[in-house]
Amino acid sequence: MKIAVLIKQVPDTETKIRIKADGSGIETDGIKYIISPYDEFAVEEAIRTKEKNAGSEVTVISLGPDRCVESIRTALAMGCDKAVHVQDGGQDFDSFQTATLLSQIIKNQGFEVVFTGKQALDKDSGQVTQMIAELLNWPQVTVVEKIEWQGNVAKVTRRVAGGAKEVYEVQLPALLAAETGLNTPRYASLPGIMKAKSKPVEKLNAADLLAGATAKVTLSNYRLPPEKAPGRILQGELDKTIPELVKLLREEAKII
């Protein structure tokens, strides 16, 4: 099976976000970067799929600046076989452009199954997987929490509202977007890290793959959310504070 996994490098989830003075984005100096957590589930699932299907190969693909090679190396150290780094040339692409250029690579390199995270934990747009699927005319399943392989058919469980689940049978080629709980990502072992250093990383230029796609949306005016007024700690014994809380929820907050 020819497997691809798409990863994005994002700020560590502990990062305190600061906004550039002109609101054009966030301040990036001093930020530690990681593989976006949902993409980590995707990497793990890609490697497990390879392990279950003899003769398979996993290619990790990432679009971003030079620094994202670190995340690519992490994925290689976990067990991916090779990589494609699409250099963004310092440009910020919208989801449609990203989907267009990634879909070109998927088509050109003949992948049969592509794993992604359900959304990247930076812009949180959650659209690239579905857009690629449409551009390639492939089926997609997003918010995937379980995959069972029966030959070339994937039985895929998708988590929906209220604990309900949808079960799909998907013929390849297909795109599958990972949700929490799909698996527990492995740590890169020391031999894995050593091996990763010699695994091939192909470099491509984003601009060459855009196929004329222009941005459909513009993001501007990044800002911090309005601060909430500090809350109130109710002091005293529970037989006093609990009735007080209920009263406040009814009379002050008008919730109950």
Partner 1 sequence: MSNVLILAEHENGRVKKSAHELLNIGQKLASQIGGQVEAMVIGQGLNDLIQDLGSFGAKKVYAVENAQLTKYNTVGFAKALAASVEQAKPSIVLVSASPLGKDLLPRVAAKLGSGLANDVTDLKINNGKLLATRPVYSGKALVDVTFNTDLQLASVRPNSFGAGEPQSGQTAQMVPVAVDLGTLPAMMKELVQGKSDRPDLTEAEMIVSGGRSLKSADNFKILFELADVIGASVGASRAAVDSGYAPHDMQVGQTGKVVNPKLYIACGISGAIQHLAGMRNSKVIVAINKDPEAPIFTKADYGIVADLFQAVPLLTTEFKKLLQG
Ligand X SMILES: Cc1cc2nc3c(=O)[nH]c(=O)nc-3n(C[C@H](O)[C@H](O)[C@H](O)COP(=O)(O)OP(=O)(O)OC[C@H]3O[C@@H](n4cnc5c(N)ncnc54)[C@H](O)[C@@H]3O)c2cc1C
Reading phi first (left if > 0) and then psi (alpha if -120 to 50, else beta), residue 55 is in left
Q: How far is the CB of 13 from ligand X (least distance, A)?
A: 4
Phi, then psi, of 174 in degrees rounded to 5: -155, 160
Reading phi first (left if > 0) and then psi (alpha if -120 to 50, else beta), residue 71 is in alpha
Cβ distance to partner 1 smaller for residue 47 or 144: 144
Contact pick of 13, 198, 220, 235 for ligand X (by CB under 6 A): 13
Q: How far is the CB of 189 from partner 1 (least distance, A)?
A: 22
Q: How far is the CB of 202 from partner 1 (least distance, A)?
A: 26
Cβ distance to partner 1 smaller for residue 198 or 221: 221
Q: How far is the CB of 82 from partner 1 (least distance, A)?
A: 28
DSSP 229: P
CA atoms within 13 A on the CB side of 205: 4
For residue 126, the partner it binds in partner 1, ligand X, none, with Cβ less than 5 to 8 A by kind, is: partner 1
Distance of CA 87 to CAs 15, 58, 68, 74, 102, Å?
A: 24, 20, 9, 18, 12
Find out whether 147 and 159 touch, Cβ atoms under 8 Å: no
Find out whether 64 and 88 touch, Cβ atoms under 8 Å: yes
Q: How far is the CB of 2 from partner 1 (least distance, A)?
A: 19
Locate 6 and state its tokens. Answer: 């798409």
For residue 232, the partner it binds in partner 1, ligand X, none, with Cβ less than 5 to 8 A by kind, is: partner 1
Cβ distance to ligand X smaller for residue 39 or 94: 39
Phi, then psi, of 146 in degrees rounded to 5: -160, 140
Cβ distance to ligand X smaller for residue 37 or 126: 37
What is the rounded CA–CA span in Å between residue 177 and residue 36? 13
When asked if residue 184 is in the footprint of ligand X (CB under 6 A), the reply is no
Total interface residues for ligand X by CB under 6 A: 2
Cβ distance to partner 1 smaller for residue 73 or 159: 159
Cβ distance to ligand X smaller for residue 181 or 200: 181
Looking only at residues 18 through 47 of this chain, which bind ligand X when binding is defined by CB under 6 A? 37
Beta bridge partners of 11: 33
Task: Assign 176 to helix, strand or coil.
Answer: strand
Q: How far is the CB of 224 from ligand X (least distance, A)?
A: 21
Q: How far is the CB of 23 from partner 1 (least distance, A)?
A: 9
Place of tokens 């949306």: 217
Locate 80 and state its tokens. Answer: 């991916």
Cβ distance to ligand X smaller for residue 37 or 139: 37
Residues that bind ligand X (CB under 6 A): 13, 37
